[in-house]
Amino acid sequence: MSLLDVLQKKKDEPAEDVAQNDPIQAAPKDGQMHIGEAAKDEGKVVIMSEAEDANKKPAEPAEIPYATTFDEDSIPKILNEIFLEAIKQHASDVHFKPTEDKFMVYLRIDGTMIEHKAFEKIFHNPLIARIKILSSLRIDEHRLPQDGKSAFDAGDGKEVDLRVSVLPTQFGEKVVIRLLEKNPKMVELRDLGMLPNILMKVERHLTATYGMVLAVGPTGSGKSTSLFSMISTFDPSAYNISTLEDPIEYKITGVTQTQINTEIDFDFPDGLRTLVRQDPDIIMVGEIRDQKTASLTIESALTGHLVFSTLHTNSAVGTIQRLLNMDIDRFLITAAVKLIISQRLVRKVCSSCRESYPVPEKYYDLFGEDSEVHPKEAFFYKAKGCDQCKNTGYKGRIGLFEVLEMSPAIEELVINNAPHNEIEDQAVKEGMILLRKDALYKAMTGDITIEEAIRAMA
């Protein structure tokens, strides 16, 4: 379908859906864009993404509406619409990127960059200047990077903080804006994507009165989301719950949250020393980054507090080694650590347009010899794209989990300095599902694609 067909089709749709009032999308049949006229129009503007609107793949820039007629007055409105659309699509970042002959806007949605709009180069400087004004940056500075902040009111009481970063490039200034929802919706523990028996295991540990629960994984694996969904299962009026965070991501009613600030020498160890004097029941330490934090966190977990934290490690068993490398005594580790949740965050395949296909032979090895399912009888899923997923084939995200419980047998192995694989084998014997098995399972049940699973495991 060509752009012209799409626009022609729109003309036949009800008034609200007609894009004529949209300064960027409005394109009369002659291909000319009259941005100024449209922008001044008092009519109702319907914000739609190109993908949803034109039923085309975002990866085909040729079909992206291309604004050609420039009008300075339309700039605030254009920017407004970009933000509204970004928020509507739950984008985490908006990229304003100049190229040699264009000015591109991308949205990062579910971790993936999606082309959103293409402008003529003439829009570049006015749009960047507008962003700079909104975030109190110097508009006459074009050679140095700048950082700023702003906020955007999306209506319906929804406010979004904007973190603005300006970088000079060979084609002029590039701006990336991180969107931080002021009160993001908490994900419920049962909605993270844990298999039922894993979820039960985790819930059982949340009834403990002391010990340590760790969420581990690389950056962007959803560790804090997991911690918060676990913490929010506690009644804040019945427990003293305190957190140390950098930065504070979610605000939870009734929970005492403290922002770490290394610029004024207020770090995790400082915060932790104070917190334990505040008579806490439950403590959350945003991240264990160093020996001091590790040792104080372990100590808190051994002195009658339920402690939650995160570590940057790749596997559940690998976390034990990481703590040993931080000079934590192996007896203290086995006594304090109760549960390690290793995780990844992956894109879900769109359930509206997914289709199953037999497992290709090149993936047979993934199943392993002990697999209960023969790859010949199994199916994977792929999605070709539809309106629901804005033609990306993906919609939403889901966690992959590997959950290790500190059992007497594992304690003994750790104390006797057993190698990684021995501890892992024992954990699997006791019911731990390896991350790659969870990924394979989710690929077979149609939650994710095998490509996404492999990408996450890499």
The least distance separating Zn ion from the CB of residue 456, rounded to whole angstroms, comes to 20
Q: Please, what is the Cα angle at 342 between 337 and 343, to 5 degrees?
A: 150
Q: List binders of Zn ion among 28-67 (CB under 5 A).
A: none
The least distance separating Zn ion from the CB of residue 161, rounded to whole angstroms, comes to 31
- How many whole angstroms separate alpha carbon 340 and alpha carbon 342? 6
The least distance separating Zn ion from the CB of residue 382, rounded to whole angstroms, comes to 11
Nearer to Zn ion, 335 or 353 (CB): 353
- 154, burial (CB in 10 Å: exposed 0-12, middle 13-18, buried 19+): middle
Q: Phi first, then psi: what are they for 203, rounded to 5°?
A: -60, -35
One DSSP character per residue, 56-120 reads: --TT-GGGS-EE-S--GGGHHHHHHHHHHHHHHTT-SEEEEEE-SSEEEEEEEETTEEEEEEEEE
Contact letters for Zn ion, residues 312-351 (x by CB under 5 A): --------------------------------------x-
Q: List binders of Zn ion among 345-404 (CB under 5 A).
A: 350, 352-353, 386, 388-389
- How many whole angstroms separate alpha carbon 408 and alpha carbon 423? 12
The least distance separating Zn ion from the CB of residue 349, rounded to whole angstroms, comes to 8
Query: What is the number of residues in the chain?
Result: 458
The least distance separating Zn ion from the CB of residue 52, rounded to whole angstroms, comes to 11
If one asks whether residue 448 binds Zn ion (CB under 5 A), the answer comes out as: no
Q: List binders of Zn ion among 79-108 (CB under 5 A).
A: none
Q: Which of 108, 169, 163, 112 is nearest to 134 (CA)?
A: 163
Query: Radius of gyration (Cα) for the chain, nearest Å?
Result: 25
> How many C-beta atoms surround the C-beta of residue 432 within 10 A?
25
Nearer to Zn ion, 67 or 91 (CB): 91
Nearer to Zn ion, 10 or 354 (CB): 354
300 and 282 in contact (C-beta within 8 Å)? no
* Site size toward Zn ion, by CB under 5 A: 6
Nearer to Zn ion, 198 or 398 (CB): 398
The least distance separating Zn ion from the CB of residue 419, rounded to whole angstroms, comes to 45
Nearer to Zn ion, 276 or 353 (CB): 353
Nearer to Zn ion, 236 or 396 (CB): 396
| Chain positions contacting Zn ion, by CB under 5 A | 350, 352-353, 386, 388-389
